Amino acid sequence: MTDTTTGPAEAQSRARYLLDGRRLTIADLLGSGLLKEGARLRFVRPRVGESHEAVVTYAFRRNAPDR
Protein backbone atom coordinates (compact mmCIF):
# COMPACT_ATOMS: atom_id res chain seq x y z
CA MET A 1 0.00 0.00 0.00
CA THR A 2 1.32 3.43 -0.83
CA ASP A 3 0.37 6.92 0.27
CA THR A 4 0.70 9.14 -2.79
CA THR A 5 -0.31 12.49 -4.21
CA THR A 6 -0.47 13.03 -7.96
CA GLY A 7 -0.15 16.73 -8.60
CA PRO A 8 0.04 20.25 -7.21
CA ALA A 9 -3.72 20.55 -6.53
CA GLU A 10 -3.80 17.11 -4.95
CA ALA A 11 -0.77 17.91 -2.76
CA GLN A 12 -2.87 20.51 -1.00
CA SER A 13 -5.89 18.23 -0.87
CA ARG A 14 -5.70 14.64 0.37
CA ALA A 15 -3.54 11.59 -0.03
CA ARG A 16 -4.69 8.56 -2.00
CA TYR A 17 -4.12 5.17 -0.47
CA LEU A 18 -3.37 2.62 -3.16
CA LEU A 19 -3.17 -1.16 -3.09
CA ASP A 20 -1.70 -2.76 -6.23
CA GLY A 21 -2.22 0.55 -8.07
CA ARG A 22 -5.92 0.92 -7.20
CA ARG A 23 -7.86 2.62 -4.41
CA LEU A 24 -8.17 0.70 -1.16
CA THR A 25 -11.73 -0.51 -0.45
CA ILE A 26 -13.73 -1.63 2.57
CA ALA A 27 -13.73 -5.13 1.02
CA ASP A 28 -9.90 -5.09 1.05
CA LEU A 29 -9.88 -4.24 4.75
CA LEU A 30 -12.46 -6.93 5.56
CA GLY A 31 -10.60 -9.52 3.52
CA SER A 32 -7.32 -8.81 5.30
CA GLY A 33 -8.91 -8.93 8.75
CA LEU A 34 -8.07 -5.27 9.48
CA LEU A 35 -11.78 -4.43 9.68
CA LYS A 36 -14.51 -6.60 11.20
CA GLU A 37 -18.22 -6.91 10.46
CA GLY A 38 -20.21 -4.72 12.84
CA ALA A 39 -17.48 -2.07 13.12
CA ARG A 40 -18.81 1.46 13.32
CA LEU A 41 -17.18 3.97 10.99
CA ARG A 42 -17.31 7.74 11.17
CA PHE A 43 -16.23 10.19 8.49
CA VAL A 44 -15.92 13.73 9.85
CA ARG A 45 -15.68 16.78 7.59
CA PRO A 46 -14.86 19.60 10.03
CA ARG A 47 -14.53 22.31 7.38
CA VAL A 48 -18.14 21.86 6.29
CA GLY A 49 -19.50 20.73 9.65
CA GLU A 50 -20.61 17.28 8.49
CA SER A 51 -20.27 13.89 10.11
CA HIS A 52 -21.30 10.59 8.50
CA GLU A 53 -21.59 7.24 10.27
CA ALA A 54 -22.03 3.67 9.02
CA VAL A 55 -21.89 0.10 10.28
CA VAL A 56 -19.86 -2.45 8.29
CA THR A 57 -21.80 -5.49 7.08
CA TYR A 58 -20.34 -8.61 5.52
CA ALA A 59 -22.40 -8.15 2.36
CA PHE A 60 -20.56 -4.84 1.79
CA ARG A 61 -23.84 -2.94 1.72
CA ARG A 62 -24.07 0.61 2.87
CA ASN A 63 -25.77 0.44 6.24
CA ALA A 64 -26.08 3.93 7.69
CA PRO A 65 -27.95 4.28 10.99
CA ASP A 66 -31.17 6.30 11.03
CA ARG A 67 -30.75 9.92 12.01
Nearest CA-CA partner of 43 in 55, 27, 59: 55
What does pLDDT average to in each consecutive run of 10 residues of the chain (67 residues)? Answer: 50 70 85 92 94 84 56
Nearest CA-CA partner of 22 in 43, 5, 2: 2
CA separation for the pair 40, 64 (Å, rounded) = 10
- Reported pTM: 0.53
Nearest CA-CA partner of 52 in 63, 38, 37: 63
CA separation for the pair 64, 52 (Å, rounded) = 8
- pLDDT number for residue 21: 85
